[in-house]
Amino acid sequence: MRTVLVPIDGSECSLQALHYLIGARDDNRVVTLHLLNVQPTMTGDVSQFIARSDLDDYRRAQCEEALRPARDLLEGAGIAYQTQLAVGHVADCITRCAEELDCDHIVMGTHGRPALADLLVGSTTLRVLHQTRVPVVLVK
């Protein structure tokens, strides 16, 4: 069995990683697919004025919004998946989640939402490549 982590931020590039997996799937191999959405931490100033439960609800809602297109795509293809929500720095969370879930691969887009200044590979992608011991497949 293979375990694959796919970080999803709602960008088209992250969905391309799922298109790649759907096209490359082998019906004879069992794959556990984890979709990961990472939400940012709030600064101390903000968290002093917002109840923890409200902040958790907001993060869950943002996660669901980002994952909705990915869920629709996978459900349409009949592929089972599990979802993960992490809070923190994106690259750190991707690396940690891949290790904790004992993933065989990370399949991710080369750019996420905030990739305006990066020409070839986004900064989050580069950080993941430098931090992880898990093989990474990049999809553009």
Return d(Cα 75, Cα 95) in angstroms, integer. 26
Return d(Cα 89, Cα 12) in angstroms, integer. 21
| pLDDT for the residue numbered 112 | 63
Sign of CA pseudo-dihedral 9, 12, 17, 22:
positive
| pLDDT for the residue numbered 63 | 97
Whether the model pTM is above 0.85: yes
Give residue 95's pLDDT band: very low, low, confident or very high (50, 70, 90): very high
Return d(Cα 125, Cα 127) in angstroms, integer. 5
Please state the length of the chain. 140
- Please return the burial class of 80, using the count of CB atoms within 10 Å of its CB with bins 0-12, 13-18 and 19+: exposed
CATH of the domain at 35: 3.40.50.620
**Residue (of 106, 135, 105, 111) closest to 124 by Cα position:** 111
Number of domains in the chain: 1
| pLDDT for the residue numbered 28 | 74
- Report, as an integer, the average pLDDT of 74-82: 95
Q: What is the rounded average pLDDT for all residues in the chain?
A: 89
5 residue type, one letter: L
Range of the domain at 106: 2-139
Q: How is residue 69 written in tokens?
A: 């297109």
User: Is pLDDT at 117 greater than 70 in this prediction?
Assistant: no
